[in-house]
Amino acid sequence: MTGDYPGPGTRNWDTLPVHRSAVTASPSASLALWRGTGSVLPEVVEMNEDDSTSAPELHAAWPIRRRTFVGASVAVGGAVAAMGLLDGCATEPDEDTSTSSTVRVTLNGDKRELTVDNRTSLLDMLREHTELTGTKKGCDQGACGACTVLLDGERVVSCLTLAVQADGTEVTTIEGLEEDGRLHPLQQAFIDDDGFQCGYCTAGQILSGIGCIREGRAGSPEEIRESMSGNICRCGAYTNIVAAISRVAAQGGA
């Protein structure tokens, strides 16, 4: 077989005494071992003024293959490109104001002004920029309702609402429902009717329930179930949730 890599057996040092003796005799020659070919670059690697070896003789002693040349070129080119990228990482870039915005919002009755990345969701702004963690992150895809809040009195899933969309609005979270130390009627009804178990979805259930009542969609258990279908309770407390909303709706307290 010619024109290809030698078989594994020819790379055994025990079967290549020429290699071993050449390396012992001349450390510089060891750098010129042609991998697996059984040939050693002659002592022309130690070139000096008195060396009269011609270029053709050098080429015959150490032929440069196209594959070797291309591989080396790619490696060197990649290293240079990587150095250019690393140079740009040496210092932190200046803040790009084009990617952030100031959001002015009335949050649970308080005026707030927050600077957030334009990609920040309302949910993340509430949890990470205001420390109001009562609003929970469930699916982060708008499919479970755990992150429901009221935006100008209307229920929205905050994970799919950009924070910048709340600019100039009034946002109500579970923390803003109590008044003068008293729970909101629907909060109290959830306690009285056992409308929760683990409680993870409860904030979203209550805010959505308030929206349901205010929208006039709590006239019957069937209507409540339809209106609340976007809020998932994995504990299965649906019956008691409907009962709590029905009672508050009947009392006109939302």
Model confidence over 54-68: pLDDT tens digits? 555 545 555 556 666
User: Where is the domain boundary, 176, 204, 239?
Assistant: 176
Which residues face 162 on adjacent strands? 121
Given 176, 201, 230, the domain boundary residue is 176
The string of DSSP codes covering 199-242 is -TTHHHHHHHHHHHHHTT--SSHHHHHHHTTTS--TT--HHHHH
Residues 77 and 18 reside in one and the same domain: yes
Domain membership of residue 50 (yes or no) is: yes
pLDDT digits (tens, 9 = 90+) for 136-157: 999 999 999 999 999 999 999 9
Which of 176, 204, 219 is where one domain is finished?
176
∠ CA 140-228-208, rounded to 5°: 65
Give this prediction's pTM.
Answer: 0.63
Q: Is residue 2 situated within a structural domain?
A: no
Same domain, 246 and 195: yes
HSE (CB half, 13 Å, CA atoms) of 110? 10
Domain count, the chain: 3
Residues 6+ positions from 27 with CB-CB distance below 8 Å: none
pLDDT at residue 67, as a whole number: 61
Say which residues have a Cβ less than 8 Å from residue 42's Cβ, sequence separation at least 6. Answer: 29, 53, 61
Containing structural domain, residue 231: 185-251
- Contact (CB, 8 A) for 135 and 123: yes
Residue 87 has pLDDT above 80, yes or no: no
Task: Look at the alpha carbons of 205, 210, 215, 218 in this order and tell me if their dihedral is positive or negative.
Answer: positive
CATH for 158: 3.10.20.30
